[in-house]
Structure 1
Amino acid sequence: MRHAQGPLLTIDLADRSASTAAIDDRLAEFAGGRGLNTSLAYDRIPFDADPLGPENRLYLSTGPMQYSTTSYTGRMAATGLSPLTNGLLSSNAGGFLSRNFTGAGYAAVELVGDSDELLAVHVREIGADGVPTVEFESVPDLEQAEVSAVSDRFAESHGVGAEHVACVGPAGENGVRFASIMTSDTRAFGRGGLGAVLGAKGVKALTFDGSADAAIDLDWPDEAGEIHREAATSDSIMKRQGTASVTELANEVGALPSYYFSETSFEGVEGISGDRVEEKKYKKGTCSSCAFACKLPTRDEEAGVETEGPEFETVMAFGSNAGVDDVVDVMRANELCDELGMDTISCGDVVSMFLESEDEFGNAGLVRSIVEQIAYREGVGDKLAEGVHRAHEEFGADDWTVKGLPFSGHDGRKLNGQGLAFATANRGADHMYGEFYPYEYPLVDQEDALDPSGLDGKPPMLVEKENRNAILDSAVVCKFSRGVISDDQLAALLNATYDDLLDLGARVVELERAFNNARGFDREDDTVPYADAIDGFEEGLSEYYALRGWNEDGTVPGHGDADRDGLGGGAAAGD
């Protein structure tokens, strides 16, 4: 199986030291990305670690596809204990960082401990002697700096642009539980609060540069060129409107969360539709090496706002869910979240919860004020920075989360398979973990479409979808390659059989589940607020567990410290 190349770079922030370790066997087993990160995290992070404490570790990695030049490969993975969900969580981001990361010559970077002062860590090309080149720079001048200011600082002082930088904004420094790690200024390792983990470690930014990847020559099959050509010639509406293209469809079928989840359609949808987003788009946007170019650089000169997006989930969170019907107001909230370093879904949902408590739906000016208060933990923002799950009771609101992670769009009350997918996802209410919604709108060919009602026949498909997405996250391949990269093509790209790849995906999902089991997660956490409204929910959940070979209570047989070595693929101290 093709896999990422290079050693593991461990950066000890307390000692200001760096070391490398060969992980070839682990790479051969887990490919890279989310799989590699999860394997390392399972072995090395204590099951009882505090997500914001020094015992937590943060992993960044790429996969084998970042050594190619084909489309859908401009992404990378981050993994650690989530301060929002309290479980093991992986996130990934697009943009241009992944190629600069591989240029430094490492398969993965591990951050351990914490710093007693605010640092930037500069990772440069590994030396010919295998000695890492890592600079620790004290950056008190960047305290509470916004994301673009961080990029500007390193462009001036180190000659590297935003595409070389992974950083946190004020939200990460201030421990906002849904803070993002930002790269390329507007791309986010968004869900789960890994930005707060980086901030708790005293790291404002990491930069990566080098050309070590030029020496890596993997033999790519013809399928790589075929995929790139299809991405370039596709006439997908995503190229014009990104994921916002689904907004009106979601509203039409009753799957668009609105007014803090009290409704599933929004009368003001036309003002935040994909057409309105497209009207604000002023140029093409893409990720590294990708010809699909589905990103959305947008601006409104009258309002003085320029951002990237909003994508559908941001349209939902800061639009319909907040009762806001003007796309420019959604753009403003999107821009603020990018600059301050916060996940737009989690932030928009908690702001919408606050609007409900104040009977202020549609108040776009209040939305922006609350977003800023959250990032700096000022006033009511201090409590809201804890997220929906921890704050909802104080505001008299329902807890619209799964495992502490606020809901994205594609409402499971209408799309029942997606409802089950929200429940089973190890990282919580995230639409991309199982990604079941395309089959229920549908966004796929009619022969592949499913009745959105009920769960008959859906658990086996959900298991395969979760496993396949774990493969994509390990490769690392963008999930918007749906309908372009076939199962056979994916197997050819990774030089493996598709069944072997599904086995890899299953191991990654099971490792995440076993880690979370050790932290107390079980069947009670695999639910949604509307479970009673989904016909056959409990039966579907039991079928899902049986298909995975798990216990009826949602736990992995034999999970825990005694079985760490067998599940994780390596000794607790490393390979």
Structure 2
Amino acid sequence: MLHANGTLLTIDVGERTATTSRIDDVLESFIGGRGVATKLAHDRIPFDADPLGPENRLYLATGPLQQSRMSFTGRMSLTGLSPLTDGLLSSNAGGYLSRNFVDTGHSVVEIVGESDDLLAIHVTDDGVEFEEVPELEGAEVPDVTEVLNDRHGLEAENLVTIGPAGENEVRFASVMTYDERAFGRGGLGAVMGAKNVKTMSFTGDSAPEVEIPAEDVQMELHQQAATSDDIMRRQGTTSLTEFLNDEFSLPTRYYADMSFDAAADIGGNAVEEKKYEKASCSVCAFACKLPTRDEETGLETEGPEFETVFSFGSNCGVDDIVDVMKSNELCDRLGMDTISAGVTVAAYLASEDEFGNADLVHDLVEKIAYREGDGDLLAEGVARVHEDLGVDNWAIKGLELAAHDGRAVNGQGLSYAVANRGGDHMYSTTMIDEYHGRIDPEGTAGKANDVVENENRNALRDCGIVCQFGIGRAVEAEHFELVLDADYDDLQAVGARVVELERHFNNQRGMDAADDWVPYDLPDLESSIQEYYDARGWNDDGTVPSDRVDASASAD
């Protein structure tokens, strides 16, 4: 089985030390990316760790396909104990970081401890340098890039950076790379902020050798990406907006409604009208990114993608695409997940009957990042503040729900209920099967095996690492078999082990079947959740049997 090659670099930011070790057995068993990071996190983060304490750890990891010339592979994975969900969580981001990271010679970088001073950490194939950067306190993400470019010749593609939201430990703060690409969900930016690390850079020329088989398949997928007429090459995920609004659901006004009468004003065509050039991720020919500009105001950003159109558009009752672009741009500069930030702002608008007030939206985004006024409360996220606001809790396991509404696609609702990450549509993407008619969107009965299969495949995807845009468009099961040199059933088993390790870690923190729920009624949900546990071989209370996972975790 193909796997990432390279060492584990452990950086203790409190002691200012860096040590390198071999993790060949973990790489061989878990391929790379999310799988390797999850195994390391499970075994090294204490089960009772405070997500914002020095005992938490962050794992930045790459997979074997980041050393290929194949499209859909310009991504990396970030894993740690989430301050938003209180469980183990992985997030990934695109851009151009992954190849620069590989060039350092490492497959995983582990950040431990807590620094007394604000740091920039520079990782090269020659070693690690710690730079105190008190002058960058409170700096926005692009400003950090500008300073490091002037000072060290570093580019946005070399960096992972937090904005003011991360420094202020906003529970849904993101870690940014390439200025506008986010390790978004779950608040790992707050973990980096708690460790007092403002930015990290990666440069080198020592990529370890990884011989990726089936070069003809790689070239075939690359050619397919380059010549595809898929509408997502022009409009990204915003191409879904009007289709979902008309046929399924576009959550509106803090989930009170399931369609938005101004969907066309913030959807794919509206975004494409603002797009001024093509953009991509490392090596990828699909070029689905969305550099947008409003000529009248001079506002420039990358996006918004569909989830931001939902969170800051329909769910906030905002019907002007430029206003949504502004929210997107603010979140990127300040370093926040647009889904959680937008849903939390929408909860506030619901409490104040202020839907459609774009100026208030933008003001709240900035106040959240700096924890000023009402922003200090909202920085905790919906699950922790909904009672104070007098609104319903539209979050699962602490993670604000995405746009793909389980009330319309019930299998996705089941997947939200059982997902280790909670309200994250990317964990199983069962909604795609329902949108395309492969699964009846009504009901949850009989769908547990579909959820399991999708979760396993998506965990495998994040081990590789492969972009979701490639899944189902170009990269099929047979392609995984060829480029990862293994039977697909064996690869799915790797994904299953990753999901099980996440669940086991969370079980040790007290999570069980009581946490597997959704904030609305779904037919047969309770029996379908039990069917899911049975398919996984778990206990009826949603816990992993003790003999299934080595529970001897340590923080050595």
Shorter-chain TM-score: what band? over 0.9
Match for residue 547 of structure 1 among 526, 535, 540: 535
| Equivalent residue, structure 2, for 1:99 | 99
1:205-354 to 2 correspondence within 5 Å?
205-213=199-207, 216-354=210-348
Contact in 2 for aligned 1:514/1:559 (Cα 8 Å): no
Find out whether 1:356 has 2:343 as its counterpart.
no
> Deviation of residue 458 (structure 1)?
1.4
What does 1:361-376 correspond to in 2, within 5 Å? 361-376=355-370
Please tell me the residue identity of whatever aligns with 1:139. Answer: V
Distance 1:573 1:425 in 2: 26
The alpha-carbon deviation at position 207 of structure 1 amounts to 0.3
Q: CA deviation at 1:563?
A: 3.5
Tell me the amino acid that sits aligned with residue 113 of structure 1.
Answer: G
The answer to whether structure 1 residue 143 and structure 2 residue 134 are counterparts is no
Distance 1:441 1:216, change over 3 A: closer
The CA distance in 1 between the partners of 2:547 and 2:324, in whole Å, is 44
Give the CA deviation at 1:536: 1.1
CA distance in 1, matches of 2:547, 2:200: 34
What aligned pairs does 1:557-572 form with structure 2 within 5 A after superposition?
557-558=545-546, 563-565=550-552, 572=554
Who is 1:50 aligned against?
50
Deviations 1:141-179 (A, max 9, x none): 100000000111111111110000001000000010000
Structure 2: distance between partners of 1:97 and 1:153? 18
Q: Deviations over 1:74-133 (max 9, x none)?
A: 0000000000000000000000001100011101000000100000000001x4xxxxx0
**CA RMSD, Structure 1 to Structure 2 (Å):** 1.3
Per-residue deviation at 1:371?
A: 0.3
Residue 564 of structure 1 aligns to a residue whose secondary structure is coil
SS in 1 for 2:80: strand
Deviation per CA, 1:405-445: give whole Å up to 9, x if none.
00011100010001011111101100000001111122xxx
Which residue of the other structure, out of 514, 517, 523, is the alignment partner of 2:504? 514
Matched residue of 1:232: which SS? helix
The residue type paired with residue 528 of structure 1 is V
Matches of 2:17 and 2:398 in 1, distance apart?
35
Correspondence for 2:484 among 491, 494, 513: 494
Supply the AA of the counterpart residue of 2:505.
Answer: F
Secondary structure of the corresponding residue to residue 550 of structure 2: helix
Deviations 1:498-530 (CA, angstroms, capped at 9, x unpaired): 000011000000000000000011111111001
CA distance in 2, matches of 1:103, 1:153: 23
Per-residue displacement from partner, 1:429-464 (whole Å, max 9, x unpaired)? 00000001111122xxx5xx2211012331111100
Distance apart, 1:135 and its partner CA = 0.2
Q: Does 2:517 match 1:527? A: yes
Name the amino acid aligned to 2:206: A
Q: Given the superposition, is the C-alpha separation of residues 489 and 219 from structure 1 closer, same or farther in structure 2, using an over 3 Å criterion? A: closer
CA distance in 2, matches of 1:12, 1:198: 13
Give deviations 1:268-321, integer Å, cap 9, x for gaps: 111111110110000001100000111100010212210000000000000000
C-alpha separation between the residues in 2 aligned to 1:219 and 1:464? Answer: 25
Q: Deviations over 1:183-238 (max 9, x none)?
A: 00000000000000000000000000011117554444421111111111110000
Distance 1:33 1:121 in 2: 21
Separation in 1, partners of 2:267, 2:23: 47
- 2: CA distance between counterparts of 1:316 and 1:476? 27
Alignment check: 8 A CA contact 1:517 1:559 kept: no
Q: Do the aligned residues in 2 keep the contact of 1:68 with 1:220 (CA within 8 Å)? A: no
CA distance in 1, matches of 2:547, 2:11: 29
Measure the CA separation in 1 of the matches of 2:412 and 2:243: 16
Rounded Cα–Cα distance in structure 2 between residues aligned with 1:219 and 1:21:
27
Is this contact kept in 2: 1:34–1:78, CA < 8 A? yes
Partner AA of 2:420 in structure 1: N
| 1:218–1:439 Cα change, 3 Å | closer
Hey, what's the Cα distance between the residues in 1 that align with 2:264 and 2:299? 20
1:452 aligned partner, one-letter code: P
| Secondary structure of residue in 1 paired with 2:482 | helix
Contact 1:195 1:341 in 2 (8 A): yes
Q: Deviation of residue 383 (structure 1)?
A: 0.3
2:379 & 2:120 partners in 1: Cα distance?
24
Q: Letter of the aligned partner of 1:563 in structure 2?
A: D
- 2:214, 2:98 → 1: CA distance? 19
Q: Counterpart amino acid of 1:514?
A: H
Matches within 5 A, 1:60-209: 60-125=60-125, 127=126, 133-209=127-203
* Structure 1: runs of 5 or more not aligned: 128-132, 566-570
The Cα shift of 1:559 comes to 7.3
CA distance in structure 2 between the partners assigned to 1:269 and 1:27 by the alignment: 45
Distance 1:218 1:489 in 2: 12
| Whole-angstrom CA distance in 2 between matches of 1:54 and 1:572 | 15
Q: Please report the TM-score for the alignment, with normalisation by the length of structure 1.
A: 0.95
Distance in structure 1 (CA, Å) of the matches to 2:299 and 2:9 = 39
Secondary structure of the structure 2 residue equivalent to 1:433: coil
Alignment-mate amino acid for residue 506 of structure 1: A
- Write the deviation string for residues 212-268 of structure 1: whole angstroms up to 9, x where unpaired: 117554444421111111111110000010000001111112411110011111111
The question of whether the paired residues in 1 share the 8 Å contact of 2:318 and 2:358 is answered with: yes
The sequence identity of aligned pairs, in percent, is 60
Structure-2-length-normalised TM-score: 0.98
1:522-569 residue CA offsets vs partner (Å, 9 max, x unmatched): 111111001x2x111111111010000001111001179x9324xxxx
In 2, the alpha carbon distance for the partners of 1:275 and 1:421 equals 30
User: Aligned partners of 2:406 and 2:36: how far apart in 1?
Assistant: 31
Return the alpha-carbon distance in structure 1 between the equivalents of residues 99 and 547 of structure 2. Answer: 36
SS in 2 for 1:107: strand
Q: Give, in whole Å, the separation in 1 of the partners of 2:341 and 2:389.
A: 15
Counterpart of 1:212 in 2: which secondary structure?
Answer: coil
Residue pair 2:46, 2:554 contacting (<8 A) in 1 also: no
User: Could you tell me how far apart the structure 1 residues matched to 2:6 and 2:535 are?
Assistant: 35
User: Does the C-alpha gap of structure 1 residues 563 and 5 become closer, same or farther in structure 2, counting only changes over 3 Å?
Assistant: closer
Match of 2:448 among 451, 456, 459: 459
1:451-485 per-position Cα deviation (integer Å, ceiling 9, x unaligned): 11012331111100000000000011111112211
Matched residue, 1:479: 468
Kept in 1: contact 2:213–2:484 (CA 8 A): no
